[in-house]
Amino acid sequence: MRPQPDFIHEFVPGKSRRTLLLLHGTGGNERDLIPLGQELDPNASLLSPRGKALENGRPRFFRRLSEGVFDLEDLKTRTHELADFVVSAAEHYKIDPKEIVAVGYSNGANIAASMLLLRPEVLSAAILFRAMVPLVPERKPNLSSARVWIGAGSDDRIIPASSTKELVGMLRDASADVTIRFFQSGHELTSDDVDLAREWLTRSVD
Ligand code: MLT
């Protein structure tokens, strides 16, 4: 029996207790971020689902009405569905549910941020590359045991810096330990992002 609710996904068992939950960007799939996960932590298990919302045939984790304008009802439903998948995959693959670190890029970073806000118990930490405010939760979550690293591009035309900063404020207001780094780049991921995120993961989460 596969983890329910079902997602097409890859699972790569690791040698440590940590699992990286890899969440791809728009048009990606479950294989995209496996090399990134291995670069960030070669010992971690990797759990990498494929988003189910299709935009012109391109997988995403939730629907949007236009660029940067999200279908909030769909986002909420899909955030809970993904969180339920992670909980059931942890049981299925016998991974430690207290050591799950989301690693999301772009649309994947946005659903990871939404999971932090709506299902704070599921993730112990998150690395968010190019994230913005996904939604404003009705109730403030308690993120006092969550650590979050955010990598933003100062010339990103898709994710406004103001929205990334607003997300940092929301997470800190919910007591999360947040580190934000701005890079001189656009929406694309750079090797500096990966190097600093890996350093942070080794230093502050180990
Ligand atoms: C989103 O839709 O989550 C953001 O606009 C990033 C993206 O283009 O996927």
pLDDT per residue over 44-81, tens digit each? 999 999 999 999 999 999 999 999 999 999 999 999 99
Other beta carbons within 10 Å of 144:
10
pLDDT the model gives residue 117: 98
- Cα(34) to centroid(ligand 1), Å: 20
Question: Which residues form ligand 1's pocket by a CB distance below 6 Å?
Answer: 25-26, 64, 67-68, 106-107, 110, 158
Q: Decide: 109 and 189 in contact? Cβ < 8 Å.
A: no
Distance of CA 50 to CAs 108, 149, 191, Å?
10, 23, 24
Residue nearest to atom 2 of ligand 1 (CA): 107
Q: Rounded to the nearest whole angstrom, what is the distance from the C-alpha of residue 131 to the centroid of ligand 1?
A: 8
Query: Which residue out of 9, 114, 124, 156 is catalytically annotated?
Result: 156
Cross-strand bridge partners of residue 89: none
What average pLDDT does range 124-144 have in this prediction?
A: 97
Confidence of residue 169 (pLDDT cuts 50, 70, 90): very high
Tally the residues of the chain. 206
Q: What is the mean pLDDT of residues 15-31?
A: 98
Q: Which atom of ligand 1 is nearest to the CA of 106?
A: 6
Sheet holding 147-153, edge to edge: 9-12, 45-49, 19-23, 100-105, 125-129, 147-153, 177-183
Would residue 156 show up in a list of annotated catalytic residues for this protein? yes
pLDDT of residue 2: 83
Which pLDDT value is given to residue 21?
98
Give strand ranges (E) for the chain.
9-12, 19-23, 45-49, 53-55, 58-60, 64-66, 69-70, 100-105, 125-129, 147-153, 177-183
Name the active-site residue from 45, 48, 106, 124: 106
Give the whole-angstrom CA distance, residue 35 versus residue 86: 20
Whole-number Å distance between alpha carbons of 107 and 86: 17
- Annotation says 9 is catalytic: no
Whose Cα sits closest to atom 7 in ligand 1?
Answer: 107
Looking at residue 205, what is its pLDDT? 58
pTM over 0.85: yes
Confirm whether 6 is a catalytic residue.
Answer: no
Question: Residue 41 and residue 22: Cα distance in Å, rounded?
Answer: 12
Q: What is the pLDDT of residue 10?
A: 98
Residue whose Cα lies nearest atom 1 of ligand 1: it is: 107
User: If you measure from the C-alpha of residue 200 to the centroid of ligand 1, how many angstroms do you get, rounded to a whole number?
Assistant: 25
Please tell me the residue having the least CA distance from ligand 1 atom 4.
Answer: 107
Classified as helix, coil or strand, 145 is coil
Q: Over 80: is that where the pLDDT of 1 sits? A: no
Burial of 203 (0-12, 13-18, 19+ CB in 10 A): exposed
